[in-house]
Amino acid sequence: MEVVIKYILAIINIKYLLIYLLAINLIGFCAMGIDKFKAQRGYWRIPEATLMTLCLLGGGIGTIAGMYTFRHKTKKLKFSVGMPTILILELSIVIYIIIKFVIME
């Protein structure tokens, strides 16, 4: 597993990673707003699985910000606890990788 992580770190350009994270968080934020808009008007909705997937793909900050900005899905435990939990786990993994493979080398 260490070899795979070292290889990935060697080929990832930090600029592209930051662009990806900005894009996925913006998409997550917008998805929450769009789903709230559709919910208020009785239109077809964005599936909850899609919103959670956006969070899992690195859009945790954007989806959580959208959730509270638009006051959408805040009463559902799956979202109010699940999304912050996913974000904390993702940040923990990133911190671990940085410490183990970048700083300690």
Total count of domains within the chain: 1
Model pLDDT for residues 40-91, shown as the tens digit of each residue? 999 999 999 999 999 999 999 999 999 999 999 999 999 999 999 999 999 9
Domain assignment present for residue 10? The answer is yes
Q: Band of the pLDDT at 101, cuts 50, 70, 90?
A: confident
Contact (CB, 8 A) for 58 and 27 = no
Q: Is residue 57 part of a domain?
A: yes
Residue 80 lies in a domain: yes
In whole angstroms, give the CA distance from residue 105 to residue 99: 9
Answer yes or no: is 17 within a domain: yes
pLDDT at 89: 95
CA distances (Å), origin 81, targets 10, 29, 76, 91, 99: 34, 17, 8, 16, 27
Best CA proximity match to 76, nearest among 100, 14, 68: 68
| Residue 20 covered by a domain | yes
Whether residue 105 lies inside any domain: the answer is no
Contact 85, 52 (CB under 8 A): no
Is residue 11 a part of any domain in this protein?
Answer: yes
Domain around 48: 2-100
Cβ proximity of 50 and 24 under 8 Å: no
> What does pTM read for this prediction?
0.85
Residue 52 placed within a domain: yes
